[in-house]
């Protein structure tokens, strides 16, 4: 009996460690946020006449797998650089929790399954946008991180795709409403990325990543650029209300969140400290989901 319990306990630990490793390979938390943004775009784009559950579920699963495959491909590409950074040295590839060939096969499987689900359950436009997002993230953004801050601009394109994919899955077209949702998430990523790059500057330098603007310096010029892009979120956040996509309540929430987010950038301009950059980073984590939830509640 003890032998059976020993075997079961070891098997449970093995399964748990493998699941954890694959969750890290898929960048689970990031992929779930991406999926939420896609769902957000779908619900806003849905006319309300007939809600298509197959399309909705296909979008969720397909979007999640494409995002996860993109993240896994990024980890495969950067496995040697991840060993150099404290924040990434415990990922499954640097620690050999998952072998390279196994990771490659799993990534291809996840990516092609995600594309297939979008093709079967949504429409060709959404599928091709999903492919474009994955290609830009893996083959443009990832290698450009060691080239210069242009990587942030390129990476912001696939990063802003999820609500666009959700909208096209619901409507089959890219209208001005979809471009507004894309624009908000696109601009949001600049203060988000740069705050992370500021906080993780030492780690990024070890790996040769160059994401900060203004020559890669943590100075007033970089802080001002972070402030300017955050400032753009104020008018952008009101566009869904202006065009009748949502109501006035979400416009108020977006404005309040935008002002609070912007206020954090003034502290960074004043002291150029890691603590202030950390506040902007956490502020960016809060801003987007709160504003998107407000839009959803206003639509519902």
The domains of the chain are located at 21-174, 176-300
Cβ-proximal residues to 200 (8 Å cutoff; 6+ apart), any chain:
85, 87
Q: What pLDDT was estimated at residue 4?
A: 61
Q: What pLDDT was estimated at residue 214?
A: 79
Q: What pLDDT was estimated at residue 11?
A: 66
Of 236, 235, 240, the C-alpha closest to 294 is 240
Q: What pLDDT was estimated at residue 5?
A: 60
Sign of the CA dihedral 137, 38, 125, 247?
Answer: negative
Please list the alpha-helical segments (H only) found in the chain: 2-25, 28-45, 53-77, 79-82, 100-121, 124-136, 142-144, 150-159, 161-171, 176-199, 201-207, 220-242, 248-271, 274-299
Contacts of range 294-297, beta carbons closer than 8 Å, 24 or more positions apart:
294/246, 294/249, 294/250, 294/253, 294/254, 295/40, 295/44, 295/240, 295/245, 295/246, 295/250, 295/254, 296/40, 296/43, 296/44, 297/249, 297/250
Instruction: Determine the 3-state secondary structure of 246 from DSSP.
Output: coil
Q: What pLDDT was estimated at residue 10?
A: 67
Of 146, 162, 132, the C-alpha closest to 64 is 162
DSSP, residue by residue, 142-180: HHHTTT-THHHHHHHHHHTHHHHHHHHHHHSS--HHHHH
pTM (two decimals): 0.94
Return the CATH fold of 21-174.
Answer: Tetracycline Repressor; domain 2 (1.10.357)
Residue whose token pair is 């908000």: 184
Q: What pLDDT was estimated at residue 299?
A: 80
pLDDT tens digits, residue range 159-208?
999 999 999 999 999 999 999 999 999 999 999 999 999 999 999 999 99
Q: What pLDDT was estimated at residue 245?
A: 92
Q: What pLDDT was estimated at residue 126?
A: 97
Q: What pLDDT was estimated at residue 16?
A: 82
Q: What pLDDT was estimated at residue 166?
A: 97
* DSSP state letter for 209: -
Q: What pLDDT was estimated at residue 50?
A: 66
Which stretches in the chain have pLDDT values below 50? none
The CA distance from 185 to 131, in Å, is 19
Of 275, 262, 36, the C-alpha closest to 162 is 36
């Amino acid at each position: 009996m003890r032998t059976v319990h020993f075997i079961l306990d070891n098997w449970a630990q093995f399964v748990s460690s493998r699941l954890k490793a694959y969750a890290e390979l898929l960048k689970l938390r990031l992929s779930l946020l991406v999926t939420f943004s896609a769902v957000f775009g779908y619900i806003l784009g849905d006319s309300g006449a007939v809600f298509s559950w197959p399309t909705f579920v296909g979008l969720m699963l397909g979007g999640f797998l494409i995002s996860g495959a993109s993240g896994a491909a990024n980890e495969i590409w950067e496995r040697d650089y991840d060993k150099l950074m404290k924040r990434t040295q415990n990922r499954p590839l640097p620690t050999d929790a998952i072998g390279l060939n196994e990771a490659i096969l799993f990534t291809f499987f996840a990516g092609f399954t995600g594309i297939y689900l979008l093709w079967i359950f949504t429409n060709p436009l959404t599928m091709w946008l999903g492919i474009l997002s994955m290609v830009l993230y893996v083959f443009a953004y990832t290698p450009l991180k060691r080239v210069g801050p242009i990587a942030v601009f390129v990476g912001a394109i696939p990063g802003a795709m999820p609500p666009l994919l959700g909208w096209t899955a619901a409507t089959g077209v890219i209208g001005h409403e979809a471009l507004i949702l894309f624009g908000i998430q696109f601009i949001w990523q600049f203060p988000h990325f740069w705050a992370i790059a500021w906080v993780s500057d030492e780690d990024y330098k070890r790996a040769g990543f160059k994401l900060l603007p203004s020559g890669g310096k943590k100075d007033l010029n970089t802080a001002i650029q972070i402030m300017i892009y955050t400032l753009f979120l104020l008018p952008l956040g009101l566009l869904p209300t202006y065009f009748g996509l949502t109501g006035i309540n979400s416009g108020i929430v977006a404005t309040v969140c935008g002002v609070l987010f912007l206020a954090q950038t003034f502290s960074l301009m004043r002291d150029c400290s890691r603590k202030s950059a950390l506040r902007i980073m956490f502020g960016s984590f809060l801003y987007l989901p709160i504003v998107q939830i407000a839009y959803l509640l206003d639509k519902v």
